[in-house]
Amino acid sequence: MRTAFLPRALLPLVAALSLLLAVPPPAHADKDADRARAAVQSGEILPLTRILEAVSAQYTGDVIGVKLDRDDGVWQYEVKLLLASGSVAKLEYDAKTATLLKAKGRDLDQARKKP
């Protein structure tokens, strides 16, 4: 049995998300959340935890933002990562496979973990 855990670096993000959930979202946010939930439940996309595991396995840094978009019919997670150098990197993952599609940012090469 696999035990789920969150890296310590993600705790501030989880705390911030908890606070956001306490504030009533705009009406369109409900639709977006419903669409995302349905996509996860149908297997169309992976849950965010799987994407965060992929980020953590590939890069060092702190996740400071995540966005789920559907671009030309393809779901993508966009992850903003605060690197040790202080710069912010933008990583784009295929939401169905957790494949890294694009990575941009200064000092990103130094943040990449060795396989």
pLDDT, tens digit, 9 for 90 and up, residues 30-44: 788 898 899 999 999
- Residue 41: Cβ within 10 Å count: 10
The pLDDT score that the predictor gives to residue 3 is: 46
Q: Judge whether 90 and 79 are in contact, CB under 8 Å.
A: yes
Domains of the chain from N-terminus onward: 8-111 (3.10.450.40)
Report the mean per-residue pLDDT for the chain: 84
- Contact in structure between 89 and 83 (CB atoms under 8 Å): yes
CA gap 7, 16 in Å, rounded: 15
Residue 32: its pLDDT value, please? 82
Q: Which of 30-44, 51-65, 71-85 comes out lowest in average pLDDT? A: 30-44
Classify residue 50 by its DSSP letter: H
Say whether pLDDT at 1 is over 50.
no
